[in-house]
Amino acid sequence: MRRTGWHRTLPAREHHRRASPPPSLPSLRVQEHLMRETAGAAPGARTRAWSRRPLALLLAAGAATGAVTLAVTLGASGSGGGGRGPVAAPPDPAAVRLLDRAAMTAQAAAAAPVRDGQYLYTKTTGFSTSLAETGNGGMEAARTDESAERWVSADGSTGTLTRTASGTSQDPAPGKGRATINSPTHRFLESLPTDPDRLLETIYADTRLNHGAGSGSTTGPDQEAFVAIGDLLRTVEAPPGVSAALYRAAARIPGVVLVPGATDAAGREGVAVARIHNGERTEWIFDKATTHLLGERTVLLKDSPWGKAGTAVTSTAVIARGIADEAGRAPGQ
C-alpha cells in the first residue's frame, strides 16, 4: 500500500464504503492511511495513501445541524473512532494562539478577483511512502516523489489538471453548483460562512455522519474535521475571510496541539499545529515569522513497518499559488 501526500486518511473498510471518488482535486489527500489496520496482515504489496479530503478532496458533506457546542461535544466523543474512543483533551492554548495569528494573517491578505473560467493554481513538492513485501517475507518502505502542479477550475465547469514528473492527468469536472466541502471549487468556498462556529458546524455535520457513532469508522469526527480543514487550507486557496474562519474553527477541535519545530518537504523549518491519531501526528507547518502555511506532513510516533518513530511518511510543501487563465500554464505565462 502507499501513502500519498495530498490525500485523506481512510481505513480500508471506510474507503470501500464510500461512493465513487470525488470529482475534483486529484489526490492531495484522500486516504491518509488507507488500510491502516491491514498494514501487517495479509502479504503482498500495499499502497498507503493519506488523509481524507485530498486533492481528491473530501467526501459528500451533510447539511449543517445543531449548535457548535453540540457539534464539538459529539466530535470529541468520537475522537477515538466512531464515538467509541476516549474524549480528547481541550485544544492546547499555544496551538490556539498560533491558529489565531494565522487567521489574522489570512484575513489581512488582499482578495484576488477570480473569474469563472479561470483556475486555482498550486505547485507542490513532496513525497509519499510505499510499503511492499520483500522476497524474504519482510516489509520494506520506500519513498515516491509526489511533486505536482495543479489547475482547479474556479467554477467547476472543467476538471482538475494535474502535472507530475510521470505525466499529466485530468479529473472530471464537479459541475457548476455541485461542489461540496469534499470536492470544493472557489465559488463554493466563497459561499461558506466566515463565522468559525457556523463553519465548524458545517464540517462536523459531515464528519459526524460518516465517522460518528454507529458509522463503523475508526477515525472519529474530530480527526476527520482536522484533516478536512487542513485539506481545504492547503489544496485550494479560499477567500481571506473563509481562510481565517477555517483556522479559527480548527482552534476549537479537541486534541489540537503545538509542535515547536517541524520541517516541510522543501526543507523549510517552521512551527506546527498538529493532532495525534492512532500513533501518527498530522502536522500543519507554518512559517514562524509570517504564520503563512508552508505545508503538511504525517509523522510516526512509534516504530512500525512504515519506519521508525519520528519518520515523516508523507509530506507536502506548497511552493506557489496563483490564478491562471488556462489549465497547463502557470500564472503569468
Residue 235 confidence (pLDDT): 83
Half-sphere exposure of 255 (CA within 13 A, CB side): 28
Residue 142 confidence (pLDDT): 92
Chain centroid to Cα 280, Å, comes to 14
Residue 257 confidence (pLDDT): 98
Residue 31 confidence (pLDDT): 36
Secondary structure class of 323 (helix, strand, coil): strand
Sequence-distant (≥ 6) Cβ neighbours of residue 185 within 8 angstroms: 24, 152, 153, 154, 155, 156, 174, 179, 236
Residue 68 confidence (pLDDT): 33
Is residue 98 within 8 Å of residue 258, measured between CB atoms? yes
Is residue 160 within 8 Å of residue 150, measured between CB atoms? yes
Is residue 124 within 8 Å of residue 317, measured between CB atoms? yes
Q: Per-10-residue mean pLDDT for the chain, 333 residues long?
A: 47 33 34 37 33 31 32 36 62 98 95 92 96 87 95 92 94 79 87 96 90 82 94 89 97 98 98 96 98 97 94 96 95 87
Sequence-distant (≥ 6) Cβ neighbours of residue 291 within 8 angstroms: 98, 101, 102, 104, 105
Residue 86 confidence (pLDDT): 59
* Nearest Cα to Cα of residue 96 among 284, 248, 317: 248
Residue 38 confidence (pLDDT): 36
Is residue 283 within 8 Å of residue 311, measured between CB atoms? no
| CA separation for the pair 271, 140 (Å, rounded) | 30
Residue 168 confidence (pLDDT): 95
Enter the pTM of the model: 0.76
